[in-house]
Structure 1
Amino acid sequence: MIYKNKDKLNKEFRVDCKKCFGLCCVALYFSASEGFPTNKDAGKPCINLQSNFTCSVHKNLRAKGLKGCTAYDCFGAGQKVAQITYAGQDWQQNPESAKEMFEVFLIMRQLHEMLWYLTQAFILQKDHCAQQEISSLIDNTERLTLLNPDSLLVLDLEAHRSKVNILLRSTSELVRTKAIGTKNNSLRNQKSTPKRLDYFGADLRKTNLKGTDLRGACLIASNLRGVDLSGADLIGADLRDADLSGANLTNSIFLTQAQINTAKGDSNTKLPIMLVRPPYWSK
């Protein structure tokens, strides 16, 4: 059965901190060097997390240089765990379930991330049989997100992710081949290697990146001003402080809000419809 609830899933992907229990502020390991308030062990509340699960410095995160906080995105996993998996019972009310809840949150985030990519793949894929296969995997993944904590904790995530990656790669190949067409691409013939492509601080303004495989590429502080990234696969690419001013990412693939949140951009940057322009980007 073809998956028909993309709008519903897209809504679920949006972070709703008011329905969460500050899970990302507790469950995750923090490092001050990565733009977080302080070094923090996983399972320990952030120093800025208040008893009502709100952040005491939320309105001043950028001013305080807390880029790690503004960049993080749980793909809506926080509210799913808080309101559905644990039916609104928070870890303060039930401290005996706190450790379990934090572990479940980390698993749920991975499942929601997979759903994000699969939904994009479904939209991009034109082959009917491939769409059906993606639709089936979306349905299966969504069912996994509704499991109870005990079942979630014993999930074989790696096996499930392998199935997801196969479909994402085939979709990527299809989209990138179409985007490249007959035009020459200076990065097109690079062979896949276990290492990330390294374009740290590189000036890529004159490089044709349409349809380029930039999976896991290091694009930290790179200059992508005005670059057309149509059909470029950016899954896992590191865009921290990359300048996307005026860049066209409308039809780039497998891009996430977290990646956009770490980059620089302006009012002329074109984003995929599922992503939101960060309020701190230049006008």
Structure 2
Amino acid sequence: MPFVQANSHRLHYADSHPDGPPTPNGLNFIFVHGLGSSQNYYYPVIPNLTKRHRCITIDTYGSARSPYTNDPVTLPGIAEDVVGVMDALHVQKAVVVGHSMGGIVATELGARCPDRIQGVVAIGPTHPTDTLVTLMNKRSETVLESGIEPMANTIPFGAVGSRSTPLQRAFIRELILGQDPKGYAALCRAIATAEPANYAAVKAPFLLIAGDEDKSASMEGCQHIFHHVSSEKKCLDVLKGVGHWHCIEAADEVGGLIAKFADVVNARNPERVFI
């Protein structure tokens, strides 16, 4: 299995085109998954991109195949790891795609690294709130006491929308069961202690994808993030009947939206886009 060293962390990754984008106008995409997930979350989506673009997917530190070694975890630290992956793979600039927790990281990268980030796609990003802090602290305690099974037995059913299928819920359950409980708990604590990114500092093209039945990333929070980023080219798309696992519940729609966003980043559609 391929691993890359990013700062002090050994991260599992996949790279669709190690020699660079396959077309002259191709972009580098780097994908950051959410809590209880892995790079495989994006595999239903990236076929919409790989004919033209390079797609790099990673398991964040402490998730899936990236081993947890008891280091403290913070969301800015995950953002630093993403930059470390870019450096190790000789990627000067990229569009960063993040889901849920990864959406916070993607927005953080857009704010902190404008010279490296060409565009930001935030899928169901979670805006820090007191309710989120309480939930994440409770989850951390639960998995440390009882293992990952309580999460695997509830989240695939409570965090999806009305369009979800049994096969999709089984995929989500398998993603969760693949987590190290200690790593999962550390990531819960990282989310609980996270500060909102400096949204106003995000000026790269920005796409926010939300689900209208998402109970984890509220529409209010998504709209707050969207309205506070400073990007001149930005769009908010809301998927009907979709909960919090967008790339699994509505893969073709999400993939199509990201593919169109690539044209915006390439300035083929230069007008401002607001919703």
Q: TM-score, normalised on structure 1?
A: 0.24
* Structure having greater relative contact order (Cα 8 Å, sep ≥ 6): 2
Q: TM-score, normalised on structure 2?
A: 0.25
Structure whose CA Rg is larger: 1
